[in-house]
Amino acid sequence: MKRNLDFTEIQNASQPDLDHLLEEGRLVSWENFGQKLKAYYPNKKFPSISITGTECSLNCLHCNKHYLKNMHHITSPENLLQFANKLVKNHGSGFLLSGGYNEDSVVPLEPYLDVISQIKTKTNLKINVHPGLVDYNKAKALADAGIDTVSFDLITDDDVISKVIRNNKQGKDYIESFESMIKAGLEVIPHICLGLHFGDEKGNLDAIETALKHEISLIVFLSLIPTKGTAMENSKILNKDYLAKLILYTRFKKPNLEQSLGCMRVRHLDYEEVAIKAGINRIAVPKKKSLEFAVNKFELSIEQIETCCSI
């Protein structure tokens, strides 16, 4: 079932009307994907790798290199191959290959493509890549290497990019990169950081609208984390009802699109519960109480998966 609701209708819904829409959204989700919730746990079986260590040329206001610190630091293709072989021996399922950006907002993956191809040919490891902005040729090289999925940060608002990311790019650059990767045959999973503009709603809906114009199988919602030591540590966090409304809007616009709450988000119980009420399909590292809520309130079956939620 597809509903042609304008977002303002959902945004301005009274609480009783919103409750009704939440129920309707859940039912649409269950009709398309079953009455279940997929819980993803990357942990040791699906580690995150930075090929640049803690280095990043951008110093975005919301991150300032903070999230590179806790990743495995791989310094050469040879190291990556050794890491992958060890992961296989330890019954790992795959890894995220990421890192800091260069001045052009690109993660420098080219030296690793041959090794990625070897890993994909000789092992069953799943590889999710976070490449940054890439043109068609780079996207085709990634596809030829055999990577499984691409996690792509889709930002379309010029002001959000100039004030938060500060990389001299525009929304059209992100859209062109997104479309180039799809054209190259990659399984591209748009990641949309809600509240990226200092915790407010600017740019969120437009990014979702852009994603929904393309043939995608999954969309991942993140949210701004006011991170200590960054310029945005005192930013507000996204309103949970606004999160639910965006999930509902996305569901009604594209009922057969899976939706996920990704790792990089505010880890509040009420966020996860309202997402479950709205019919979210996947949650990365959910709280135990959220799973209990899903089972007890809606009788959902829980499927636990030891990869990132983009696989």
DSSP letter string over 17-32? HHHHHHHHHHHHHHHH
pLDDT in tens, 122-150: 999 999 999 999 999 999 999 999 999 99
How do the residues of the chain divide into helix, strand and coil, expressed in percent and rounded to 5? 40, 15, 40
CA separation (Å) from 121 to 117, 118, 179?
A: 6, 5, 27
Q: Could you read off the pLDDT of 278-297 as tens digits, one per residue? A: 999 999 999 999 999 999 99
Q: How far is CA 306 from CA 42, 51, 68, 199, in A?
A: 5, 22, 21, 30
For residues 259 and 247, give the distance between their C-alpha atoms in angstroms, rounded to a whole number: 8
pLDDT at 2: 62
Domain regions of the chain by residue span: 15-305
Q: How confident is the model at residue 250 (pLDDT cuts 50, 70, 90)?
A: very high
Six token digits for residue 109: 């993956």
Residues 6+ positions from 91 with CB-CB distance below 8 Å: 45
What pLDDT is recorded for position 126?
A: 98
Q: Would you say residue 1 has pLDDT above 70?
A: no
Work out the percent of the chain whose per-residue pLDDT is above 90: 95
Statement: the pTM of the whole predicted model exceeds 0.85: yes
Run of H or E residues at 48: strand 48-50
Q: What phi, psi does 172 have (nearest 5°)?
A: -60, -30
The single-letter code of the amino acid at 298 is F
Strand pairing partners for 39? 283, 304
Model confidence band, residue 5 (pLDDT cutoffs 50, 70, 90): confident
Distance, in Å, from the CA atom of 21 to the CA atom of 144, rounded to the nearest integer, reads 43
The domain covering 15-305 belongs, at the CATH homologous superfamily level, to Aldolase class I (3.20.20.70)
